Amino acid sequence: MSKETIVLASDHGGFELKETLKDMLSGLGYEALDLGCHGLESVDYPDYADAMADVLAGARARRGVLVCGSGIGISMAANRHSHIRAALVHDGLTARLCRQHNNANVMVLGGRTTGVDVAKDCLKIFLNTPFEGGRHERRIGKMS
């Protein structure tokens, strides 16, 4: 069976956490597609949210992870694209709910606000929690 591709992108504020999550994904047997950034030099987070949106518009991947310093800017930028449901999560509960209730296709973390162990926990939950559908389907439909 071919590996599922998970897309990752960050600005400089999320770079280190993105690298950690990329390693974790590879260790879990996923194909990690890293859209950058590739270092700590200052960049603009909307560019990376847009790059994520471009990839998720195609057939190569259906889920992604974005990281900026707070997670706020890059989630705002990602959610300007109608096919993206990006959820800024802070713990296991919000990671689980963004899948069960919101069918988030992008999980967003703050590299300066969320610790590595919590972030890893969020990633595992995001990857493994199904959407509940039902009444949530109708609500999501109203956002598209």
**Residue whose Cβ sits closest to ligand RB5:** 73
**Nearest to ligand RB5 of 78, 104 (CB atom):** 78
- 28 versus 76: smaller Cβ distance to ligand RB5: 76
Judge whether 79 and 141 are in contact, CB under 8 Å.
no
The minimum distance between CB 68 and ligand RB5, in angstroms, equals 4
92: its two tokens: 């296991």
Q: Which of 12, 37, 38, 68 is catalytic?
A: 68
- Is there a contact between 5 and 26 (Cβ–Cβ < 8 Å)? no
Q: Which is nearer to ligand RB5, 112 or 136 (CB)?
A: 112
Q: Give me the least distance between CB of 54 and ligand RB5, in Å please.
A: 20
Q: Can 68 be counted among the known catalytic residues?
A: yes
Q: Point out which residues bind ligand RB5 (CB under 6 A).
A: 11, 13, 45, 68-70, 72-73
Q: What is d(CA 14, CA 120) in angstroms, rounded to the nearest whole number?
A: 14
In the DSSP assignment, the letter for residue 80 is T
Shortest separation between residue 35's beta carbon and ligand RB5, angstroms: 15
Show the beta-strand stretches assigned E in the chain: 5-10, 31-34, 63-68, 86-88, 106-110
CB of 76 to ligand RB5, least distance (A): 8
CA-based nearest residue to 61, from 98, 34, 37, 21: 34
Q: Is 101 labeled as catalytic in the residue annotation?
A: yes
Known catalytic residues are 68, 101
